[in-house]
Structures are given as C-alpha cells and as structure tokens.
Amino acid sequence: MTKEFKLSAERLKELKDELTYLKTVREKEVADQIKEARSFGDLSENSEYDEAKNEQGKLYSRIVELENILAHAVLISDAEVDADVVSIGRRVVVIDMEFNEQATYAIVGSQEADPDENRISEESPFGKALLGRKKGEEVLVDAPAGVLHYKVLDILK
C-alpha cells in the first residue's frame, strides 16, 4: 500500500512551487554547471564536473521525492476536522503533569512537522497519543525517557 501524505493547502502549494522551481530554474542552473565543468577538459580529474554531477543527482532525487509526495497527497480541510477532538490541522494545549508546564502544539502531517516550531507529526509517538483525545483527557506517551503524562487543556482551530 502506498503511503499517503496528509498536507494542509498551504504546504501543498509550497511543495508544488518548489517542484516547479526545481524543474525549471534549478535544473537549468545545474545543466549549465555541468556544461561549464566539461569545458575544463579531462573529466577523470575534474572536481567541478564531479560536484556538478552530484548536485544533479541530488536535484533529481528531490524532484522524484516531491513528485511522490504530491502524487499521494491528501488535503486536510477544516470541514473534515471535528473541533472537539485532537486531529490533524488542530492546535492542542496540553499541560505536562509532572512538571506542570503548559505548551501548545499544532498536529500536522509528517511533511509539515517541525518540533522547533511546536508542529508535531501525527505519526510521532506524541502525535499518535494525542489523536482522538478530547478536552480534559489525560494522555500517556511512551518516550525514550520513559512514560510522559499530559492532560489536554484545550483544542484550537
């Protein structure tokens, strides 16, 4: 079975824009780098050529990755999301029951996750533990540091 990538409309547009940029502007830049490096002569000892070919490989790899994500993207719309339940596309306010610290996290698809920005993937242990929970429910999260205990304080749009 093919993996689905759950994306917001904003992230879907970002990925489409990146793919367009890579296929037009960046692909031409890399082709020009290869052409210039070839003009330096002997390819067996030409580090510029090797570097340009490596860059081309990375470029094509990213293009294939983006095409796969876009081909299997599932758009998350607000209409499909229950406002009373923790789900993708919602922000959740939780309190760490051990340290009495409050935090707000956005629950997002794996392609949008950014822990530094408190954007937690629905596939992460914390995201999985929160999904489907309601305001007031307590959540236990199995983490490498041990079991963490949280309580859902609020669910926001």
Q: pLDDT tens digits, residue range 117-133? A: 999 999 999 999 999 99
pLDDT in tens, 81-126: 667 889 888 899 999 999 999 999 999 988 889 999 999 999 999 9
At residue 143, the 3 state secondary structure works out as strand
Q: Is CATH 3.40.140.10 correct for 5-75?
A: no
Distance of CA 141 to the CA centre of its chain: 21
Contacts with 13 (C-beta within 8 Å, 6 or more apart), sequence order: none
Q: Domain residue spans in the chain? A: 5-75, 79-156
Q: Which of 149, 153, 133, 132 is nearest to 141 (CA)?
A: 149
Q: Whole-angstrom Cα distance, residue 154 to residue 104?
A: 9
Q: Whole-angstrom Cα distance, residue 137 to residue 119?
A: 21
Q: Whole-angstrom Cα distance, residue 57 to residue 30?
A: 10
Q: Which CATH architecture has domain 79-156?
A: Roll (3.10)
